[in-house]
């Protein structure tokens, strides 16, 4: 790695025009270039990184609601977009990080970022550099940990159970399905296009998959794929799919709610009509946040790394090349245009 001696360099950035409410549009973002000194301020515990990959995630939408679990807002007036990424340490005042370390965690949409204050706590050192670095935005990062916590910890799965996953081709869903298959479950996923359905069945090993946009009777579709009912529902979307699932749960079923992407931007959220089934069928519904499970990260890696190395877990990414392609990639992730976990490649090491 070049020795920068704290020189000043140009730093291309993607900035937000303002706070946003709802899914971002490309016009909510603009490009600018400033300069940055490649050295942390004397005496600070900051970490200066060169960004390599940036992650496009659903939490990056704006919301008027104050969310107590959020560490940061992705959009703030004339500030670089904030989100997860993979980076290389250029200089560090922090005892846990040194120049040359590869890290993943919360960074900014620019070529170089100075990570300060609470965001330093989000940085994880990357130890397993034999695997694609971009995996730490998805499979081996926050979404992967979400899949692990939501499936193993919240759903208490057992061999042979019937598992349904919505937004199954997403960063989280892909992995939940493969965990469930490795556990010997019967697994069905829903996604928003025929192409995604085909990949779920032919590449990711799901037993069945369907395009929810083409099913006008979701209850009927679920009855077709689960004639004996559903034991576990991993919910990424909420709304109408959740309501139809309630009609198809088996007694003592578990519903793990990671998110409800279909509800995030509705003026009037969809009502859930079939909640009474929760009582009759003794169903457990549990929402969770990944932040409560980060202490299990080493256990997660212990499980998932051998599977990846043996090719028993695979992962599909959609990589947009260059910071310039970031805004379109982020917008595309929300609309379902991404062909796999959406990543932006900023720089190769």
Q: Which residues in this chain contact ligand NDP in the complex, by CB under 6 A?
A: 57-59, 143, 146, 167, 169-173, 191-193, 196, 236-237, 258-259, 261-262, 288-290, 333, 336, 338
106 half-sphere exposure, CB direction, 13 A CA radius: 19
Q: Which is nearer to ligand NDP, 48 or 187 (CB)?
A: 187
Q: How far apart are CA 15 and CA 66, in angstroms?
A: 22
CB 111 within 8 A of CB 90: no
Q: How far apart are CA 103 and CA 124, in angstroms?
A: 5
- Across-strand partners of 249? 230
Quote the least distance from Cβ 32 to ligand NDP, whole Å: 28
Quote the least distance from Cβ 121 to ligand NDP, whole Å: 16
Q: Which is nearer to ligand NDP, 258 or 304 (CB)?
A: 258
Residue of 175, 171, 243, 254 lying closest to 212 (CA atoms): 243
Q: Which is nearer to ligand NDP, 51 or 338 (CB)?
A: 338
341 alpha-carbon distance from chain centroid = 8
Q: Which is nearer to ligand NDP, 288 or 297 (CB)?
A: 288
Quote the least distance from Cβ 293 to ligand NDP, whole Å: 8
Q: How far apart are CA 269 and CA 104, in angstroms?
A: 34
Burial readout 127-166 (b: 16 or more C-beta within 10 A, e: otherwise): eeeeebbbbbbbbbbbbbbbbbbbbbebbebeeebbbbbb
**Cα separation values, 142 from 18, 79, 83, 148, 185, Å:** 26, 23, 11, 10, 24
Q: How far apart are CA 138 and CA 12, in angstroms?
A: 24
Quote the least distance from Cβ 104 to ligand NDP, whole Å: 14
Q: Which is nearer to ligand NDP, 11 or 338 (CB)?
A: 338
Q: Which is nearer to ligand NDP, 46 or 142 (CB)?
A: 142
Q: CB neighbours (10 Å) of residue 79?
A: 15
Quote the least distance from Cβ 335 to ligand NDP, whole Å: 7
Quote the least distance from Cβ 61 to ligand NDP, whole Å: 9
Quote the least distance from Cβ 167 to ligand NDP, whole Å: 3
Quote the least distance from Cβ 179 to ligand NDP, whole Å: 14
End-to-end CA distance of the chain: 9
Quote the least distance from Cβ 331 to ligand NDP, whole Å: 11
Q: Which is nearer to ligand NDP, 13 or 143 (CB)?
A: 143
Q: Which is nearer to ligand NDP, 58 or 112 (CB)?
A: 58
Q: Which residue is nearest to ligand NDP (CB)?
A: 259
Q: How far apart are CA 27 and CA 339, in angstroms?
A: 23
Q: How far apart are CA 56 and CA 71, in angstroms?
A: 16
DSSP letter (8 states) at residue 22: B
Q: Which is nearer to ligand NDP, 50 or 196 (CB)?
A: 196
Rg (CA), the chain: 21
């Amino acid at each position: 790695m070049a020795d920068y001696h704290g020189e000043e360099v140009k730093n291309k950035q993607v900035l937000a025009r303002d706070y946003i409410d709802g899914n971002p549009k490309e016009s909510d973002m603009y490009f600018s270039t400033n300069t940055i000194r490649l050295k942390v301020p004397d005496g600070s515990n900051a970490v200066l990184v060169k960004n390599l990959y940036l992650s496009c995630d659903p939490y990056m939408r704006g919301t008027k609601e104050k969310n107590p679990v959020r560490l940061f807002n992705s959009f703030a007036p004339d500030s670089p977009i904030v989100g997860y990424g993979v980076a290389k340490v250029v200089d560090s005042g922090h005892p846990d990080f040194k120049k040359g370390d590869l890290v993943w965690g919360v960074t900014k949409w620019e070529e170089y970022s100075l990570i300060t204050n609470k965001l330093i706590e989000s940085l994880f050192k990357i130890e397993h550099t034999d695997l694609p670095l971009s995996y730490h935005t998805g499979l081996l990062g926050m979404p992967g940990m979400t899949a692990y916590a939501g499936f193993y910890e919240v759903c208490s799965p057992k061999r042979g159970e019937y598992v349904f996953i919505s937004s199954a081709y997403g960063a989280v869903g892909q992995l939940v399905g493969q965990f469930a298959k490795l556990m010997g479950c019967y697994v069905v996923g829903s996604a928003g296009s025929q192409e995604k359905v085909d990949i779920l069945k032919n590449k990711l090993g799901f037993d069945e998959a369907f395009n929810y946009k083409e099913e006008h009777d979701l209850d009927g579709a679920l009855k077709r794929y689960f004639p004996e009912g559903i034991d576990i529902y991993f919910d990424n979307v909420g709304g109408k799919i959740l309501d139809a699932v309630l009609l198809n749960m088996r007694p003592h079923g578990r519903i793990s709610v990671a998110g409800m992407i279909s509800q995030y931007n509705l003026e009037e959220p969809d009502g859930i009509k079939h909640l009474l089934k929760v009582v009759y069928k003794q169903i457990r519904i549990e929402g969770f946040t990944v932040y409560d499970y980060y202490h299990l990260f080493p256990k997660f890696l212990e499980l998932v790394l051998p599977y990846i190395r043996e090719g028993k877990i695979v992962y599909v990414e959609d990589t947009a090349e260059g910071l310039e392609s970031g805004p379109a990639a982020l917008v595309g992730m929300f609309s379902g245009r991404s062909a796999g976990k959406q990543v932006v490649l900023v720089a190769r090491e």
